[in-house]
Amino acid sequence: MTTEETATAVPPAEAPAAEAPAAAAPAKEKAPKAPKEKKEKPKQEPKDKDAKKSGGGAAGGDAKGLGLKNSKKDNFGEWYSELVVASELISYYDVSGCYILRPWAYAMWEVVQGWFDKRIKALGVQNSYFPLFITEDVLNTEKDHVEGFAPEVAWVTKYGNSVMEKPIAIRPTSETVMYPYFSQWIRSHRDLPLRLNQWTNVVRWEFKYPTPFIRSREFLWQEGHTAFATQAEAEKEVHDILDLYRGVYEDLLAVPVTKGKKSKKEQFAGAFFTTTVEAYIPETGRGIQGATSHCLGQNFSKMFDIQFEDDDRQKQHVWQNSWGLTTRSLGVMIMTHADDKGLVLPPRVAPKQIVIIPIPKGSAAPETLQAMMDKVDELSKSLEAKDVRVVTDTRNNYTPGWKYNHWELKGLPLRMELGPKDMDNQAVMLCRRDTGAKEVVKWEDVPARVPELLETIQADMFAAAKARTSGCTEVCHSFEEFMAALNNKHMALTPWADEEAIEEEVKKRSTTPDAMGAKTLCLPFEAPPLPEGTKCFYSGKPAKNWALWGRSY
């Protein structure tokens, strides 16, 4: 059991809360263009109010008892910045574009890691670790592909007071780090497939406006790098991994994504082809790349001389893939589900899935109080035995109302209340974070009902997000329809003749004084039929496939 307990006794619901203990926030937080973190301080509740009705006021909240000052609908950017700090996911840091992932955020990253790691190992991938630093010479082996990215590479140029003889790059990605060793380790077909992954940080000195999780100069990710004897094996893996990425988003984070291929213009320059999962944020009307799985073909094996001897003793270049998923996934999940009261976490990724809050009467006799506390303990243990992640909040210096707001801000999928009436009825009240729906459950039914309800919440959150995204995707057959969809903050699904020059033109023509141009997010693998004679929405030429377009992050 995890408990937020600071003392054994619980305060009466109708008594004003005592002064809060100091919150963990440091005194000074530099947050360039972002809200300052506030010290957590429980609001005092009126004496005569029932705890269930009173607002309390969450950490960083306002007097009305709402979790956040900004609203998701009216000022999305400010809402998001305020949310990630108030819910204790992020602290701003004095290097611009870098953020501290606090335990609440890191615990979710660990869930994502655990989910994905288990599955790639089942496919035969092994974890390893390669160094953070890259010499200039090695980075330049891949010059053609690095060129476009060069402005983002960070360099170490000094140690102590001395200037480095040769500056050393900090990895923005590890192709150039790993592939020289692939070349050494792969000799014969018996050394294949070689399938490595690493969980690391990377640094890309971006100049676009940074956003916690979504775009930061240092971020956490996994990068998979694999080598095969045949194209068929490599291509199979590209799709296996892409489906795992879909699983991370849809099955774990309850975020709908579209699987597809990147257009030639949008794919990784070093790739033979790039596949992607694309998500969408309705409030901003922008698509966002969730993760990518590349088939590199033999491009890198030719550059890095990675060859094997086949059965006939013939030398052949290996087929390679690379694939990556970052902490951005958490940002997309947060943006998708959170509301004006705070985070709304899908049960499967929530570090804690249910909070149990006792609500004793102020006048309760010590035995009555003890009986309630014993029940909290018993219920908690019975849920933990079912692998439910439980926290009990028996702190006596916060009122129940304040606690409700606090745990709503943190996004716990369920709250369990246990008051004097519930004790009499041998029941608890369960309250859903996603819908606010409440239900009374008998004590004996709790261990079965809670896990079932958590799965229902998970499914309902995904279904709701999927319905929102589907409602924001418009099939367009002309540029006029296309612009109307974009201006409606929607994505456009169009028949497409797949011409790079046209994609450039569409981007330019869809750029307005206050909105960026649209690009292809992907050519979806699942799309409506494309009857013979269907014309490209822009050029009028015969369409080759469907393209999903949108303004994007």
Among candidates 2, 25, 150, which has minimal Cα distance to 86? 25
Could you tell me which residues are beta bridge partners of residue 535? 542
Of the candidate spans 142-150, 227-235, 391-399, 408-416, the one that interacts with ligand 87F by CB under 6 A turns out to be: 142-150
Among 322, 327, 329, 394, which residue sits at the site for ligand 87F (rule: CB under 6 A)? 322
Please report how close the Cβ of residue 326 comes to ligand 87F at its closest, in angstroms.
9
Please report how close the Cβ of residue 204 comes to ligand 87F at its closest, in angstroms.
5
Among candidates 249, 204, 240, 276, which has minimal Cα distance to 552? 276
Site string for ligand 87F, 253-282 (x = CB under 6 A): ---------------x--------------
Count, residues near ligand 87F per rule CB under 6 A: 14
- For the record, the structure tokens of 237 come out as 């893996």
* CB-count burial class (<10 Å; 0-12, 13-18, 19+) for 14: middle
Among 46, 71, 74, 149, which residue sits at the site for ligand 87F (rule: CB under 6 A)? 149
> Could you say whether residue 146 binds ligand 87F (CB under 6 A)?
yes
Site string for ligand 87F, 32-71 (x = CB under 6 A): ----------------------------------------
Secondary structure (H, E, C), 415-448: EEEECHHHHHHCEEEEEECCCCCEEEEEHHHHHH
Could you tell me which residues are beta bridge partners of residue 448? none
Please report how close the Cβ of residue 354 comes to ligand 87F at its closest, in angstroms.
36
**Do you find a cis peptide bond into 346, omega within 30 degrees of 0?**
no
Rounded to 5°, angle at Cα 516 from 548 and 542: 35
Among candidates 394, 382, 437, 398, which has minimal Cα distance to 414? 437
Is the torsion defined by CA of 448, 409, 252, 99 positive or negative?
negative
Of the candidate spans 149-157, 377-385, 481-489, 522-530, the one that interacts with ligand 87F by CB under 6 A turns out to be: 149-157
> Could you say whether residue 204 binds ligand 87F (CB under 6 A)?
yes
> Could you say whether residue 292 binds ligand 87F (CB under 6 A)?
yes
Please report how close the Cβ of residue 348 comes to ligand 87F at its closest, in angstroms.
24
> Could you say whether residue 173 binds ligand 87F (CB under 6 A)?
yes
Q: How far apart are CA 279 and CA 257, in angstroms?
A: 5
SS3 532: coil
Please report how close the Cβ of residue 123 comes to ligand 87F at its closest, in angstroms.
16
Q: Give the helix, strand, coil percentages of the chain, each rounded to 5.
A: 35, 25, 40
Site string for ligand 87F, 395-414 (x = CB under 6 A): --------------------
- The smaller minimum CB distance to ligand 87F, of residues 205 and 443, is found at 205
Contacts of 124 (CB under 8 A, 6+ apart): 193, 195
Please report how close the Cβ of residue 286 comes to ligand 87F at its closest, in angstroms.
20
**Do you find a cis peptide bond into 35, omega within 30 degrees of 0?**
no
Q: How far apart are CA 386 and CA 363, in angstroms?
A: 35
- The smaller minimum CB distance to ligand 87F, of residues 219 and 404, is found at 219
Of the candidate spans 25-33, 75-83, 141-149, 454-462, the one that interacts with ligand 87F by CB under 6 A turns out to be: 141-149
Site string for ligand 87F, 458-477 (x = CB under 6 A): --------------------
Please report how close the Cβ of residue 296 comes to ligand 87F at its closest, in angstroms.
9
Please report how close the Cβ of residue 324 comes to ligand 87F at its closest, in angstroms.
3
Please report how close the Cβ of residue 173 comes to ligand 87F at its closest, in angstroms.
4
> Could you say whether residue 223 binds ligand 87F (CB under 6 A)?
yes
- For the record, the structure tokens of 347 come out as 């049960």
Backbone dihedral angles phi then psi of residue 107, each to the nearest 5 degrees: -60, -35
Please report how close the Cβ of residue 178 comes to ligand 87F at its closest, in angstroms.
9
* CB-count burial class (<10 Å; 0-12, 13-18, 19+) for 46: exposed
Name which of residues 70 to 99 contact ligand 87F (CB under 6 A): none
Directed axis angle between helix 103-123 and helix 231-247, to 10°? 150
> Per-residue DSSP letters for 172-232?
SSSHHHHHHHHHHH--BGGG--EEEEEEEEEE----SPPBTTTB-SEEEEEEEEEEESSHH
Among candidates 126, 316, 323, which has minimal Cα distance to 230? 316
Backbone dihedral angles phi then psi of residue 348, each to the nearest 5 degrees: -70, -25
- The smaller minimum CB distance to ligand 87F, of residues 462 and 553, is found at 553
Of the candidate spans 9-17, 104-112, 321-329, 396-404, the one that interacts with ligand 87F by CB under 6 A turns out to be: 321-329
Torsion of CA 5, 11, 17, 20, to 10 degrees: -20
Please report how close the Cβ of residue 491 comes to ligand 87F at its closest, in angstroms.
22
- The smaller minimum CB distance to ligand 87F, of residues 174 and 183, is found at 174
> Could you say whether residue 153 binds ligand 87F (CB under 6 A)?
yes
Please report how close the Cβ of residue 268 comes to ligand 87F at its closest, in angstroms.
5
- The smaller minimum CB distance to ligand 87F, of residues 56 and 290, is found at 290
Among 212, 256, 285, 324, which residue sits at the site for ligand 87F (rule: CB under 6 A)? 324
Among 35, 67, 172, 260, which residue sits at the site for ligand 87F (rule: CB under 6 A)? 172
Of the candidate spans 144-152, 190-198, 307-315, 333-341, the one that interacts with ligand 87F by CB under 6 A turns out to be: 144-152
Query: Terminus-to-terminus CA distance in the chain, angstroms?
Result: 40
AA letter at 149: F
Contact footprint for ligand 87F (CB under 6 A): 145-146, 149, 152-153, 172-173, 204, 223, 268, 292, 322-324
